Amino acid sequence: MNGEELTEQETALYDRQIRVWGADAQRRLSKSHILVYGMKGTVAEFCKNIVLAGVGSVTLVDDRAVTEEALSANFLILPDENLYHGKTLAEVCCASLKEFNPMVHVSVEKGDISTFGVEFFEKFDVVVISCCSLAKKKLINQKCRKLPKRIAFYTVDCRGSCGEIFVDLQDYKYSKKKLEETVECQLEYPSFEDAIAVPWKVLPKRVSKLYFAMRVIEQFEDIEGRNAGQTSIADLPGVLKLRKELCETNSVSESQIPDAVLERLLTDTSEYPPVCAIIGGILGQEVIKAISGKGDPLKNFFFFDAMDGKGLIEDISKP
Amino acid sequence: MASEEQLSAIKRAKVLMVGAGGIGCELLKTLALSGFQDIHVIDMDTIEVSNLNRQFLFRQSHVGLSKAKVARDAVLRFRPKISITPYHANVKESRFNVDFFKEFDVVLNGLDNLDARRHVNRLCLAADVPLVESGTTGFLGQVTVHLKGKTECYECQPKPAPKTYPVCTITSTPSKFVHCIVWAKDLLFAKLFGDKNQENDLNVRSSDTASSSEHSEDVFECRKDEDIEQYGRRIYDHIFGHNIEVALSNEETWKNRNKPRPIYSKDVLPKKITKENGDTEKDCATGDVSAMASLSLKNPQDIWSLAENSRVFIEALRLFFSKRGKEIGNLTFDKDDQLAVEFVTAAANIRASSFGIPLHSLFEAKGIAGNIVHAVATTNAIIAGLIVIEAIKVLKKDNNNFRMTYCLEHPSRKLLLMPVEPYEPNKSCHVCSETPLSLEVNIHHSKLRDFIEKIVKGKLGMNFPVIMQGASILYEVGEDLEEDMVAIYDANLEKALSELPSPVTSGTVLTVEDLQQEFTCSINIKHREEFDEEKEPDGMVLSGWVEAPVDKDNNKPVGNGESTSNALPSEEILEGEKDVEIQEQSTGAETVTGKKRTLSEVDGSRNQKTTENLDDDDEDELVISNDWESLTKKKRV
């Protein structure tokens, strides 16, 4: 690693985690720049984790106003209207995050992320987006992929007791410890668009039902022009119809996607704080791995469901 | 997710959190966000700089303040309407008795040591309050649910025994760096800067063959006619030179070992040390007195040469005497004491150099000496989320859906978070069932004090024991005892078991009770003449209680003893860096292996698992099969 040594202050503050991932990883972290879009509870958890870990900078994008709903699972917002009135979600969260670690530069970028040009993304090593429509996920993922520089791209969504993370590290090289030696590894990731285009029937038999259910809901919201999470039980007939179509196109049985799971995803659209903590924790860990180049990253979907308590990795890419 | 019924159960609940550290901060936040309204938090600790990388409720300006109180204030900022009651106190205080515990619907542990965990386990059993237990090390973590009569208690499964090193390995024949650290910290540091009246093995073994002309007690005293540097050099020559020569004279010892090399200060240091940088004796980040600062050694990750270690040794000693003279005689090693860590690192390295053991950096040495548990924020956040999920099940009385969950570093069968059904109580658990224990002991040699310290407190984890033989009380502690009784009990402590007023003989059944924990044990005494000094250093052997075999592989002596995992079922992991009895704790580094047992357990269908596990690391597979036997013996709830 070329690069300056950690300062005494950094060594003292990060002592316990340097014992986990080493001084080298800590130096890389301190030089990394992270873009985050969609400041809900899960993302608040994620931001807390990476700010504590000591990344170089975090840039927040979310121009929405603070609402009652936004408060519910987000500990970065103090519930005092005088404090948040007239400010955007990103601005309010930024102020709180700064306090967690004075060595990390936290800032806000205003505007609609969909309109940001490719060159905007070039400043970042990691891009994390949340609460996005299908179209927006594809678009931002494409922009990241157009750059010569490799950007680690993540999407994260929590609906009630369920959470999903998608990871695109493109062509990723890393090292891991196997017994006593360090071995070099390589992984090829598909883009979000390519991953979800993989025909369902070629996927391994026991892929999580949540994967399919999330795709149905995502497409439903896309077709109906809804924002992510803007659904209710009244949408069930429409969603079941879409499930039928998708299952037929993909030649898989509708029983792959139980009604009960779809119902839960449609109705429990608010975030459930324990799940935010878990998904935000896993995402934080993955981003730290991707920056430090140490340890097996997950490829390429992660699901957690509080109902059965499983935290599951699924590899959805062309066989 | 949150149904009306669930929300009202959460709102009504009164919960007790024990620990406001790494897991505790995350837990308090997640409880508050999840709608809990009445939370009580006990933590005896104050905030330190090295907490700030993960205990996100704390800031630099809070260093030195109560964790419980600062955590409360921080959470009230984003949830001002809930009630959080902080206790800056040790959970073992008598006010936290069974009646106190009975007030709660569920107890949530985010502790960092075995002792407190056992204590809380017993109080929860006595008060019949469900306990959700947790621990983390690095990327690994676990959450378990303990409900009396329904699932196993925290002590139903073996806990890895603390690692102990034979005294002679430490005093005469170190073969690993950790041996040198133990020597430097527990013997040398204690001898020079600690309580002079404490027994100390520093010289005993190495000089008993050829007694030196000097009276060994005087060697460590600074003489009137010498300055501090001369004193330091004399100590140096005595412990690294003279003592090694003496040890070498015992040829028997070195028949099958590499001989150590005596090191004298004149061989590694110039005659008179000239100070290069007299103006900065203080660490610029912390302001602490520091030998590294005054010698211009900057990077704690560098491994110093023998000469550098020797300079640090002399300089640290000088600084202790010149800047911190008042503390000498009362110091105990503290991993957060920069100068103490420097001194111990240097002394351990010089000794390592003498014995041909690789040297280590201050950063590494500090980790070993302080039993520091690796800790990151993300694992604590995940574990806290899982605790809340289980706590809500407890409140909903959803007893059939409790899970123990493991947070893994490497996925097993695609799982990174692995839920496992909890186990039934162990019918022969000495804590939650009433199985008698038996103790082999030499009743003529072992004193009541040995029995109490090593067995009743050391192994059974009692704090306020009452020892009874039939109806007669041999010993008890308490504030309201008559003075004459205290005198009798004190006298009993020094008596051999067979010489007590009601003598303990082979076949005697002793009843041991802790009134605070409401926990009672019967112990059958069996007399035995001889004990193996190396293998049975206590001179007593307790059987019938659950204790895991000592971790054999201790070449990574990191971590908080209890945080290890070698063996299964409830190998535990801890957050925190407490419990610093270096003596002799084993590693927290390989926690990974412990997890594997659960691999085979998920989903019940055992047969497919091994075959299905193809995409896992080979390492993982090995571990499963190792632990196979112990798995099959347990019953699921």
The SS3 call for residue B131 is: strand
Whether residue A78 and residue B77 make contact (CB cut-off 8 A), yes or no, is yes
The structure tokens 């503390």 sit at B327
* Beta-sheet pairing, B83-87 with B38-42: parallel
Both tokens of B315, joined, read 């300089």
Whether the CB-CB separation of B355 and B260 falls below 8 Å is answered with: yes
Question: Exactly one of B25, B153, B156, B168 is catalytic; which is it?
Answer: B168
Kindly tell me the sign of the dihedral angle through the C-alpha atoms of A305, A48, B576, A287. Answer: positive
Q: How many domains does chain B have?
A: 3
Both tokens of B188, joined, read 């040398």
Whether residue A306 and residue B1 make contact (CB cut-off 8 A), yes or no, is yes
Nearest CB to A280: which of B285, B363, B381? Answer: B381
Give the CATH number of the domain where residue B99 resides.
3.40.50.720
Whether residue B385 and residue A78 make contact (CB cut-off 8 A), yes or no, is no
In a shared domain, residues B223 and B131: no
- Alpha-carbon torsion, ordered B372, B377, B380, B381, to 10 deg: 170
pLDDT for the residue A114 = 92
pLDDT for the residue B532 = 84
Task: List the beta bridge partners of residue A184.
Answer: A175
pLDDT grade for B162, boundaries at 50, 70 and 90:
low
In a shared domain, residues B75 and B209: no
pLDDT tens for the 319 residues of chain A, in order = 445 677 878 888 888 888 778 888 899 999 999 999 999 999 999 999 999 999 999 999 999 999 888 888 899 999 888 888 889 999 999 999 999 999 999 999 999 999 999 999 999 999 999 989 999 999 999 999 999 999 999 999 999 899 999 999 999 988 887 777 888 889 999 999 999 999 998 998 889 999 999 999 999 999 999 988 889 999 999 999 999 999 999 999 999 899 999 999 999 888 999 999 999 999 999 999 999 988 889 999 999 999 999 999 999 998 7
**Among all residues of chain A, which has the CA nearest to that of B382?**
A278
What are the CA-CA distances from residue A139 to residues A117, A135, A145, B289, B621 (Å)? 11, 6, 10, 56, 41
In a shared domain, residues B350 and B382: no
Mean pLDDT of B330-340: 88
pLDDT for the residue B435 = 74
Contacts of B33 in chain A (CB under 8 A): 41, 72-73, 75, 273, 276
pLDDT for the residue B545 = 65
Mean pLDDT of B57-77: 95
B161 domain-assigned: no
Nearest CB to A5: which of B79, B299, B409? Answer: B299
The tens digit of pLDDT for each residue in B89-141 reads: 999 998 999 999 999 999 999 998 888 999 999 999 999 999 999 999 888 99
Both tokens of A155, joined, read 């999407």
In a shared domain, residues B30 and B94: yes
Answer with the residue of higher pLDDT: B190 or B273: B190
Contacts of B363 in chain A (CB under 8 A): 11, 18
Mean pLDDT of B418-428: 90
**Mean pLDDT score of chain B, rounded to an integer?**
79
Whether the CB-CB separation of B498 and B504 falls below 8 Å is answered with: yes
pLDDT for the residue B149 = 87
pLDDT for the residue B592 = 32
pLDDT grade for B328, boundaries at 50, 70 and 90:
confident
CA B405, distance to chain mean position in Å, is 23
Alpha-carbon gap, residue B224 to A21, rounded angstroms: 50
Whether the CB-CB separation of A257 and A212 falls below 8 Å is answered with: yes
In a shared domain, residues B219 and B270: yes
DSSP string, B593-624: HHHGGGGGGTTS-HHHHHHHGGGS-HHHHHHH
Alpha-carbon gap, residue B318 to B291, rounded angstroms: 9
pLDDT for the residue B254 = 87
B550 domain-assigned: no
Q: What share of chain B is helix, strand, coil (3-state, %, to 5)?
A: 40, 15, 45
Q: Catalytic: B168?
A: yes
Kindly tell me the sign of the dihedral angle through the C-alpha atoms of B324, B329, B333, B336. Answer: negative
Alpha-carbon gap, residue B28 to B385, rounded angstroms: 10
Whether the CB-CB separation of B293 and B283 falls below 8 Å is answered with: yes
**Among all residues of chain A, which has the CA nearest to that of B398?**
A307
Interhelix angle B4-12/B377-395, rounded to 10 degrees, is: 100
B620 domain-assigned: no
pLDDT grade for B637, boundaries at 50, 70 and 90:
low
The 3-class secondary structure across chain A, one letter per residue, is CCCCCCCHHHHHHCHHHHHHHHHHHHHHHHCCEEEEECCCHHHHHHHHHHHHHCCCEEEEECCCECCHHHHCCCCCCCCCHHHHCCCEHHHHHHHHHHHHCCCCEEEECCCCHHHCCHHHHCCCCEEEEECCCHHHHHHHHHHHHHCCCCCEEEEEEEEECEEEEEEECCEEEEEEEECCEEEEEEEECCCHHHHHHCCHHHCCCCCCHHHHHHHHHHHHHHHHCCCCCCCCHHHHHHHHHHHHHHHHHCCCCHHHCCHHHHHHHHHCCCECHHHHHHHHHHHHHHHHHHHHCECCCCCCEEEEECCCCEEEEECCCCC
Whether the CB-CB separation of B39 and B28 falls below 8 Å is answered with: yes
For CATH 3.40.50.720, the residue range(s) in chain A are 8-190+271-309
pLDDT for the residue B218 = 64
Beta-carbon pairs below 8 A across chains A and B: 181
Nearest CB to B385: which of A20, A278, A313? Answer: A278
CA B391, distance to chain mean position in Å, is 27
Give the CATH number of the domain where residue B281 resides.
1.10.10.520
B183 domain-assigned: yes
Domain enclosing residue B233, as ranges: 177-356
DSSP string, B22-38: HHHHHHHHHHHHTT--E
Contacts of B1 in chain A (CB under 8 A): 160-161, 264, 268, 270, 272, 275, 306
Interface of B with A in 286-325 (CB under 8 A): 286, 298-301
User: What are the phi and psi torsion angles at B469 (to 5°)?
Assistant: -115, 110
Q: What letters, b where the CB count within 10 A reaches 16 and e where it falls short, cover B25-63?
A: bbbbbbbbbbbbbbbbbbbbbbbbbbbbbbbbbbbeebe
Alpha-carbon gap, residue A129 to A146, rounded angstroms: 17
B185 domain-assigned: yes
Alpha-carbon gap, residue B449 to B441, rounded angstroms: 13
Amino acid in position A247? C
Kindly tell me the sign of the dihedral angle through the C-alpha atoms of A47, A52, A58, A64. Answer: positive
Alpha-carbon gap, residue B454 to B127, rounded angstroms: 27
In a shared domain, residues B51 and B183: no
The SS3 call for residue B63 is: coil
pLDDT for the residue B603 = 36
Interhelix angle B362-369/B338-354, rounded to 10 degrees, is: 100
B506 domain-assigned: yes
Residues 6+ apart with CB under 8 A from B408: B139, B140, B415, B416, B417, B418, B592, B595
Whether residue B49 and residue A13 make contact (CB cut-off 8 A), yes or no, is yes
The tens digit of pLDDT for each residue in B548-601 reads: 444 433 332 222 322 333 222 233 444 543 332 323 223 333 333 333 333 333
Alpha-carbon gap, residue B474 to B374, rounded angstroms: 43
Whether residue B375 and residue A16 make contact (CB cut-off 8 A), yes or no, is yes
B367 domain-assigned: no
Contacts of B139 in chain A (CB under 8 A): 20, 285
Q: Give yes or no for A163 touching B (CB within 8 A).
A: no
Alpha-carbon gap, residue A48 to A89, rounded angstroms: 15
Reply yes or no: is the peptide bond before residue A300 cis, omega within 30 of 0: yes
pLDDT for the residue B568 = 28
Q: Give yes or no for B372 touching A (CB within 8 A).
A: yes
Judge whether residue B606 has pLDDT over 60: no
In a shared domain, residues B35 and B8: yes
Contacts of B381 in chain A (CB under 8 A): 45, 48-49, 277-278, 280-281, 284
B612 domain-assigned: no
Residues 6+ apart with CB under 8 A from B496: B443, B444, B445, B446, B447, B448
**Among all residues of chain B, which has the CA nearest to that of A271?**
B1
Judge whether residue B373 has pLDDT over 80: no
Q: Give yes or no for A177 touching B (CB within 8 A).
A: no
Whether the CB-CB separation of A60 and A107 falls below 8 Å is answered with: yes
Name the architecture of domain A8-190+271-309: 3-Layer(aba) Sandwich (3.40)
Q: In this prediction, what percent of chain B has a pLDDT beyond 90?
A: 40
In a shared domain, residues B333 and B404: no
Nearest-5° angle of CA B323, CA B329, CA B333?
Answer: 80
Alpha-carbon gap, residue A138 to A145, rounded angstroms: 11
Give the CATH number of the domain where residue B521 resides.
3.10.290.20
Whether residue B367 and residue A41 make contact (CB cut-off 8 A), yes or no, is no
Judge whether residue B623 has pLDDT over 80: no
Whether residue A274 and residue B386 make contact (CB cut-off 8 A), yes or no, is yes
Kindly tell me the sign of the dihedral angle through the C-alpha atoms of B304, B308, B313, B317. Answer: negative
Residue (of A100, A7, A283) closest to B51 by Cα position = A100
Whether the CB-CB separation of A119 and A91 falls below 8 Å is answered with: no
Residue (of B114, B95, B127, B193) closest to B155 by Cα position = B114
Q: Give yes or no for A228 touching B (CB within 8 A).
A: no
Q: In this prediction, what percent of chain B has a pLDDT beyond 70?
A: 79
DSSP string, B391-405: HHHHHTT-GGG--EE
